[in-house]
Amino acid sequence: MKRRNFFSIFRTVLVYAAILLAASASEGVDMQEGEWEYTSEVVMEGMPFAIPPTKTRQCLTKKDIVPEPESEKDKDCIVKDQQISGNTVKWTVICKDKDGTSEGKGVITYSGSSYKGTMKMTMTDKKGSTEQMTIKMSGKHLGPCTKETIAAKKEMEKQLTEGKNKSEQALKQFEEDKAKRKKEAEAIIARVKVPDEDKNACVFDTESQEKNKGCESSVGILNIKDGWWEVKKELATVSGSEGQKFYSSGQQENKGIILTQERPFDMHIGDGCGGEKIVVKRSGNKLTWRHKCDYPGGGKYTTTKELKGGITFSGESYDGGIIEKLYSNGKEQSTTYTKLTGNYLRGRAYTAQKRAYTSSDRQETISDKTKDAVGNPVKSIKKLFGW
């Protein structure tokens, strides 16, 4: 997540709180109407520096007792569960933008010529990673409203009805989109099957043919057709707690990938937390990998990745999956499920050179004959006519 989004989200949630709470504000709230100066400060754990507080002046009345920042109204935010009890105002806001979803719970308590409050927010990006921050708010009464703030106040009142209607429509759309995302994600999750890792599996080196001699000798030749493949990854991420889960899904597809006995992988395995290589094992036509690591940095917070994955080949296709879990200080934050599928398209325009370690009954490849003809054309002609 980018720091600039913190301030954008902060401004937006207060705007919508002001619009929706205005219609239900209680005349009994102990606050002085007029010009107010309010201060807001963002506090976020793990930030290497302090974010300076911001100050804004605004005309407040008992109809709009939540201060409105100087910002345009974000149509992708919804305020719900607003409550007023005595001198305390509470609300919940949900925001959605191109980077993800945010949910915040705010509370403000007035005491005549001042107020104090906080908002706690949880932000979830498209990958399911979460960040939390707290916004501290305070304000003081300065005196009567100025002409400028009165004009701004009238404009706000003009937009109250329109803003409320849009928010109700947005809330309905948000709930529909949320249900749709959940359904799509759950459909992918149900299809993710990670093959078990056999006890007799041998280590398969994805970068060295020579190192795989022993593995092929013990478990046989991988049943894969060398050539161009269409490969697809379908991803679904679940993050958050049981009370508030967030779902997202997506798909990656590539129809121009060459897969071979030596390199039967494409964009599947990845790296460990510090870039370390993940060990792949093979048994028959099954390739599996298991890995657990902590991201470098240490300190107060520890992020751990735990994954298991695997694919099974059957000549002209493969099927498999990956389940990756992220933990923060031992507490699960998100789980990403990946469905893996591949289908053979056609042979390559060229063939790999004859493998030194292949079994004796394999036939000489086309590339061997071609190389022999280029190296000794007279010999190849004799072979052709049987001389």
Over residues 53-95, the pLDDT tens digits come to 888 777 777 665 555 444 334 446 676 777 888 888 888 888 7
Q: What is the mean pLDDT of the chain?
A: 75
Cα–Cα dist 139/56, whole Å: 9
Tens of pLDDT, residue by residue over 10-40, are: 555 444 444 433 333 445 678 888 888 888 8
Let me know: does 37 contact 140? Beta carbons within 8 Å: yes
**CA angle in degrees (0–180, nearest 5) for 296-299-301:** 85
Who contacts 53 (Cβ-Cβ below 8 Å, separation ≥6)? 39, 40, 41
Q: Which residue has the higher pLDDT, 16 or 303?
A: 303
Q: Hey, what are 351's tokens?
A: 């063939």
Return the residue matching tokens 């010529």.
113
Model confidence at 382, in pLDDT bands (50, 70, 90)?
very low
pLDDT of residue 346: 87
Q: Around 254, how many Cα atoms within 13 Å sit in the side-chain half-sphere?
A: 13
Q: pLDDT, tens digit, for every residue of 100-148? A: 788 888 888 888 888 888 988 888 877 777 788 888 888 899 888 888 7
Side by side, the strands of the sheet bearing 77-85 are 54-60, 34-43, 130-143, 114-125, 100-110, 88-97, 77-85
pLDDT digits (tens, 9 = 90+) for 190-228: 999 999 999 888 888 877 777 777 788 888 888 999 999
Query: What is the four-CA torsion angle of 215, 220, 226, 231, rounded to 10 degrees?
Result: -80
